[in-house]
Structure 1
C-alpha cells in the first residue's frame, strides 16, 4: 500500500478546520492563578522531600533492570526480585542495593549480575555494606558504570522516535485521537492496533490486565491470557512497538504507543517503557493510592523515580484526574480535579518533566440530567486548557453515566467530542457507546471513530468563533472552580491536625478522603513493607545520573 502523508481524518476540504485557532480565553484573575501554584508548591515540597529520603523495592529493582538484569526463574519470578529480596533480608534497603550488589561482584561472589541473582535465590551469596571507603567507592563506581548502558539505550530510543517523527510526520490535527486496544492476547492486540491506526487513531493504548497494578513483580515474556487487558511486559512492549512502527511507515505518520506506569512496579515499568520506546505512560501521583489502596509513601517515592525516567525518555505522562469523578460528583468535586492537576504539574516539574510532556487529565463526567451540564463541561475544560496552556491535556469521555442505552451513549460521546473541539484539547480518548455493556468490538471502535471524524470535520474550527461572554455562565463557573481549588489548598495547608509525624499535610488530606472520597492513611496500604528510609550514605547510581544530567 502506498504511504499516505496524513491520517484519514485529513481531507483537502477540512485541513483548515483540523488546525484550530487557540482556544477561547477565560478572564481569570492572574493573582489567583499565581496563588494556586504557590500553594501547590508549598503543599508539594514536603512530599518531594519525603520521596527523596526513601527508597522502595521497585526503585531498586528498576536500577538493576537498567544495569541489564532480566529474565526469571522456572516459576517465572524475576531475577531482580530474587536479588533485591536477598539484599533486603541480609542488610536491608536503607543503603540501596547497588553498593552491596557490586561489592559482592568485586569480591567474586559471582562472575556477573545474572549468576549473582541465581546464587542469591539459593541463599549462597553473602552481602554486606562495606565500611571502608576503599571498598565502598569502587563498588559504587562499578554500579554507576553498569547502569550507564541502560540509560544510553533510553537515549537512543528517544533519538529514534525523533528521527521517525521527522521522517514520517505527526498528525496535522488536534486533538490526537487516543484509542484503547486490549484483548488479553498480545498477538491479537497487534493487528487490532494496526487496524485502529488505519481507521484514524493517533495513539494506541494497551490497557493492562486486571490486577497487574497489585503485582509486586513484572511478568516476563509475551503473554496471551490477560483479563480485561494485556499484561505489561518488556516483550509485549517490544512486540507492539514493532507493530506500530510497521503501520506508521504504511500510513506515513508516527503512531504513538501508551501503557501504564502505575501500581507497585511503577519504576520498573517506566524503565522498560524507556528501553522499548513507548511514547506515553499513565502516571498519576495519587491514582494508585486512591483507587488501588497502595501505600501513599510507596507511591510518591515510586512516582518521582518513574517521572525522572520519563523525562529522560521523552515520554508524555497521562494523569488520572478523570477517576476522581467516577467516585465523587463531577460538579461538587470539580475543584479537586484542579488541585490534583496543579499537584501533578508541580511533581512533574520537580522530577524534570517539561510542560510539553505533561498530559494532565480531566473528564466529561457530569450527570447529563443536571441542568446546563454541557455548559459546565465547557467551563471545566476551558479552565484546564487555560491553566496549563503548554501541556498536552488528555480529555476523557463519559463513563460514569453511561447506562447501556447505546443511542444516548453515542450522543453523549458526540457532545464530549464537541467540547474537545471547542476548547482545544490535545489528546482525546475515544468514547464508546457500548461503555458499561460489553468490551467494545472493532465495529464499536469504528463507529466511535466516525463520531470523532464527523465532529472534527464539522466543528474543528469552532475555537475561532466561540468566545464566552466575560460575565456569562461559563466564565463565572470557571472562576468559581478555580476559587474553590485555592480554598481547598489553603484548607489543607492550614489544617491543624496535619500529619504531625512527618509534617506532610497532603498525606493527611489523602487520609481524610479529600480526593475521590477515598480515605488512605499513610501508615497503611499495599506495599508499605517495601519502603525504606535512606541511611546515611544511601546510593542509587540511576538517580545520581538522572539528576546530574538535568
Structure 2
C-alpha cells in the first residue's frame, strides 16, 4: 500500500474523527456487554457441540434455549442451568438433554455455590471444544494457503453465486473460480435474516439465494478446496453473518472454515428492521468469533447509498466506516480482517461523477490503509441497458484499480434485470480482467493535485463526517439511528424484530464463550 497517493488530509481532523467514533460507540459497547439475547445463548450451545433438529426442522439449540428461557429466563445465561442439569443429574449428552427438555420431562434451575462452579467448569470444557474446532480450521486454512498460495494480484475478485440449491451452487462456484474469481460469495436465501433459527442440513430450495447452514458451508468449502488445489491459489468462501442468528452463523462459519462474512454494524437494523439493541449485542459476539477464526468481515456501507443520495450522504458512509472500525477493534478484529464497505453509486449523469467516486474511494483508502476495503459496483443507477451497464462496471473497475481497493465485487450488466446467467458472469469477469491487466498498476501513477477537485471533495466529506460524529456523540448513536441518519431509515431502539429476545444480565450471568474468547483476545494482544 506504500505506493498509493496520499491526499493532503489534516491528520488532526482524522484523529478527531476516530476519537469521536470511539466516544459515539462506547455506550453501545457497554450496552452489548450488559445484555444477552436468545441468539447469543444458542451460540453457546452450538459451540458446546449441540447439533441437529427435531422432526419439524427446529434446531435442538432452539428447543433447549427455549426450555431454559421458559423455566428460569436467559438473563443468567444458558450455561449455568444447562450444565448444572448435566452435572447434577448425571446426563452426559446435550442432545438427550434437549430431547427431555422439549418433551417437558426436565426442568431447569439456577445453581449457586459449589454447584454453580461445577456447572461453569463443565460449560467451559464443552465450549472450549467448539473454539478448538475454529482454531483447527484456521490452522488448516493457513496450511492450505502455504500449499497452494494466495491469488497473485490485488484486489481479490469477488463473485456472487446463489441458485437456491447448494448442489447447483457448487459447480457454478467452481466454474467462477476457474474463470478468475478469488472469492465466492454464496448469497443467502431472501428472508433468512428474519428467521430466528438456522436451518439444518443441506438445502435445495431457496429464493434468490441459498440458505446458510452448517452443512452447506461444509459442502462448499470442501468443493473450493478441490478447486484451490487444481488452480494453485486459495479460493475464499464468503457468506452472511447478519439477521436474527448473527452469532450462531458466525460460529458455524468459524467451525467450517469460511474466510469472509458480511457483518455490518447497522445493515440488519436499517434494511431488515431488526431491533438495534438485539443487533449490537449479537454483533459483538459474532465479531469476537470472527476474530478468533481469522475471518475477514465485510461491512455494508454500500447499502446506505441505495436509499440515500451518494453525494449528499457520502459522509454517512465515512461515519459508519469509522464506527465499524471501532466496534471491530473492540471485539478483537485487526485491520487485516476489516473489509470496510463503500460503493460506486453516484448518478452517472451527474457532472464530475467519476471524479467524486475517485475522491470517496481515495478518502476511504487513506483513512484505513491496512484494511482490505470492499468496493461495491453500481446497482442503483443500472437501468437495464446492458451496454451502458457494462460501461459503468468498467469505470467502477477502473476506479478500483486507480485507488488500490482490496476486494472488488464483480458488477453485472444485467443488475436489476435478471439473476445473472453464467454467460453474464463470464462477460463481467472479462471486463474485470481487461481493466486490471491494462491499468492495474495505474495506482503508482495516479497522484491528484493537492488543491484539485478530488482532494477538495475528500476534505469536504471528511469535515462533514466529523460534524455528524459530533452530533452523534451529543445525541447518542441509538437516537441517531432512530432519526434516520443512515440510509434515511428511522429505526427506534424500542421497536423492530427480535427485541423480545433481549435481556439485561443478571448479577450471576455467565457466558463461557465470551470468557474464553476475551481471554484469547488478551493473550493475542
Alignment TM-score, normalising by the size of structure 1: 0.94
Structure 2 residue corresponding to 1:39, chosen from 3, 16, 20: 20
Q: What does residue 4 of structure 1 align with? A: none
In 1: Cα distance, 2:126 partner to 2:435 partner: 51
Q: What does residue 460 of structure 2 align with? A: 480
RMSD: 0.8
1:242 and 2:239 aligned: no
1:208–1:231: 8 Å Cα contact kept in structure 2? yes
Map 1:44-63 onto structure 2 (within 5 A): 44-63=25-44
Structure 2 residue corresponding to 1:363, chosen from 343, 346, 369: 343
Q: What does residue 89 of structure 1 align with? A: 70
C-alpha offsets along residues 24-58 of structure 1, whole Å, 9 cap, x if unaligned? Answer: 21110000000000000000000000000000000
In 1: Cα distance, 2:211 partner to 2:132 partner: 26
1:512 and 2:512 aligned: no
Cα distance, 1:107 vs structure 2: 2.2
Q: What does residue 470 of structure 1 align with? A: 450
1:533 and 2:504 aligned: yes
Secondary structure at 1:448 match in 2: helix
Secondary structure at 2:413 match in 1: coil
C-alpha offsets along residues 208-258 of structure 1, whole Å, 9 cap, x if unaligned? Answer: 000000000000000000100000000000000001000000000000000
1:21–1:463: 8 Å Cα contact kept in structure 2? no
1:186–1:223: 8 Å Cα contact kept in structure 2? yes
In 1: Cα distance, 2:22 partner to 2:506 partner: 27
Map 1:61-460 onto structure 2 (within 5 A): 61-108=42-89, 110-131=91-112, 133-460=113-440
In 2: Cα distance, 1:193 partner to 1:99 partner: 43
1:21–1:461: 8 Å Cα contact kept in structure 2? no
Cα distance, 1:87 vs structure 2: 0.4
Aligned pair count reads 521
1:22–1:424: 8 Å Cα contact kept in structure 2? no
In 2: Cα distance, 1:169 partner to 1:274 partner: 21
In 2: Cα distance, 1:452 partner to 1:353 partner: 30
In 1: Cα distance, 2:48 partner to 2:515 partner: 14
In 1: Cα distance, 2:106 partner to 2:460 partner: 62
Cα distance, 1:126 vs structure 2: 1.3
1:544 and 2:525 aligned: no
Secondary structure at 2:209 match in 1: coil
In 1: Cα distance, 2:391 partner to 2:276 partner: 39
In 1: Cα distance, 2:316 partner to 2:383 partner: 25
In 1: Cα distance, 2:2 partner to 2:275 partner: 43
Cα distance, 1:111 vs structure 2: 3.8
In 2: Cα distance, 1:220 partner to 1:134 partner: 37
Secondary structure at 1:519 match in 2: coil
In 1: Cα distance, 2:91 partner to 2:134 partner: 27
Secondary structure at 2:133 match in 1: helix
Runs of 4+ in 1 over 4 A off after TM superposition: none
1:21–1:464: 8 Å Cα contact kept in structure 2? no
1:65–1:80: 8 Å Cα contact kept in structure 2? yes
In 2: Cα distance, 1:159 partner to 1:455 partner: 35
In 2: Cα distance, 1:319 partner to 1:178 partner: 14
Cα distance, 1:549 vs structure 2: 1.1
Q: What does residue 470 of structure 2 align with? A: 490
Secondary structure at 1:549 match in 2: helix
Cα distance, 1:21 vs structure 2: 6.8
Alignment TM-score, normalising by the size of structure 2: 0.99
In 1: Cα distance, 2:208 partner to 2:507 partner: 44
In 2: Cα distance, 1:199 partner to 1:22 partner: 29
1:213–1:262: 8 Å Cα contact kept in structure 2? yes
